[in-house]
């Protein structure tokens, strides 16, 4: 039981639940209602969609394992009590599980892509796997690039749902159809939201882990640019998020979605403003950890806003 609990911590199961929840809500609260409103059905039946979600989640789990594998020296300093690799699970088994999960996730992606006749879509999981490997071995120790890679992959977990819709991949005419244009607009908004939120959280985590990162020779944003410039980057991201939400509120206000506007004000904009204020006062690792946890909550409330498409369309 202890080993299972350690393995679940190693693969960051709460984050995997976030990914699965995001994709399910996007498919069944956004994609399906938009398509049905325009007289068509989602391209993937439920069993095939479950394969897509599992493929994404399994590749992500493999990425978390390899990240901890190469972060042992950092984790000894930053979070010795939470270490799993080399403390509960050996390095050899960690690498074995990474390989098994990676091969499984990528294979499932190719099987699904082959099944719908779009084999090139299988390379999305290959790209994700490669980026997660190079992030763990190199990118995360370089200024900015590691943050961008993880934020890109977070946004990609949103966008990939759209990739498997005929309205996106079938033809240019399908993209220009009312359903195609609507799907691209909505998915783009959520992908941008995911990118910004992930970017903020990655920089905040760098602020939290500065001591261990510096001892391991990492060149993260707060180490290279300084603490205040790193904070200012987060402020800019949070303000960009506020701007995005305001644009969305204007758009949905035109069609009378006032309940959705109220939700965004109370559960997305207000928390984002509160996070910004906390970040300004933060100066200790525990302060940054609290901010990082609140950013995860903000990510959840943003994801849950997809429910309004199901209710109001």
Does the structure show a pLDDT above 70 at 104? yes
99, 75, 93, 297: which is closest to 200 by C-alpha?
297
Distance CA 168, CA 154 (A): 20
Confidence at residue 73, expressed as pLDDT on a 0 to 100 scale: 78
The b-or-e profile of 161-182 (16+ CB within 10 A means b, else e) is bbbbbbbbbeeeeeeeeebbeb
Q: Tell the residue number behind the tokens 């290959």, with chain if given.
A: 126
* 227 or 86: which leads in pLDDT: 227
Residues 137-160 have a mean pLDDT of 94
CB atoms within 10 A of CB 308: 18
Residues 195-223 have a mean pLDDT of 91
Distance CA 36, CA 38 (A): 5
Does the structure show a pLDDT above 80 at 146? yes
Give the count of domains, the chain: 1
What 3-state DSSP class applies to 85? strand
Distance CA 29, CA 51 (A): 18
Residues 271-288 have a mean pLDDT of 95
Backbone angles phi, psi at 225, to 5 degrees: -90, -30
Distance CA 258, CA 79 (A): 44
Confidence at residue 131, expressed as pLDDT on a 0 to 100 scale: 97
Confidence at residue 174, expressed as pLDDT on a 0 to 100 scale: 63
CATH number at residue 180: 1.10.600
DSSP H stretches of helix in 216-266: 221-224, 227-254, 258-264
pLDDT in tens, 57-94: 999 999 999 998 888 877 787 777 778 887 888 899 99
pLDDT in tens, 25-46: 999 999 999 888 888 888 899 9
Which structure tokens are listed for 288?
């940054």
Residues 216-232 have a mean pLDDT of 92
Query: 302: domain range?
Result: 2-312
Check if the beta carbon of residue 217 is closer than 8 Å to that of residue 141: yes
The band of 95, judged by pLDDT with boundaries at 50, 70 and 90, is very high
Residues 225-247 have a mean pLDDT of 96
């Amino acid at each position: 039981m202890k080993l299972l609990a350690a393995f679940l911590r190693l693969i960051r199961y709460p984050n995997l639940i976030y990914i699965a929840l995001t994709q399910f809500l996007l498919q069944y609260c956004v994609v399906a209602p938009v398509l049905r409103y325009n007289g068509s059905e989602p391209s993937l039946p439920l069993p095939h969609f479950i394969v897509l979600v599992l493929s994404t989640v399994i590749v992500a789990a493999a990425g978390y394992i390899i990240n901890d594998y190469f972060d042992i020296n950092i984790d000894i300093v930053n979070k010795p009590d939470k270490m799993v690799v080399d403390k509960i699970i050996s390095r050899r088994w960690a690498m074995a599980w990474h390989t098994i999960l990676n091969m499984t996730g990528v294979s499932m992606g190719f099987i699904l892509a082959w099944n719908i006749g779009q084999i090139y879509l299988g390379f999305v999981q290959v790209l994700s796997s490669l980026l997660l490997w190079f992030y763990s071995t190199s990118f995360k120790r370089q200024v900015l690039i590691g943050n961008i890679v993880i934020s890109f992959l977070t946004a990609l977990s949103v966008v990939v749902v759209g990739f498997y819709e005929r309205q996106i991949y079938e033809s240019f005419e399908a993209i220009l159809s009312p359903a195609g244009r609507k799907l691209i607009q909505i998915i783009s908004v959520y992908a941008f939201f995911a990118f910004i939120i992930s970017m903020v959280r990655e920089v905040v985590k760098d602020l939290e882990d500065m001591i261990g990162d510096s001892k391991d020779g990492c060149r993260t944003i707060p180490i290279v640019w300084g603490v205040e410039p790193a904070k200012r980057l987060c402020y800019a991201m949070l303000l960009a998020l506020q701007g995005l939400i305001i644009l969305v509120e204007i758009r949905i206000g035109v069609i009378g979605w006032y309940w959705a506007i109220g939700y965004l004000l109370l559960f997305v904009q207000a928390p984002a403003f509160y996070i910004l204020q906390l970040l300004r006062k933060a100066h200790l690792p525990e302060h940054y950890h609290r901010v990082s946890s609140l950013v995860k909550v903000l990510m959840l409330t943003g994801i849950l806003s997809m429910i309004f498409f199901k209710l109001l369309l």
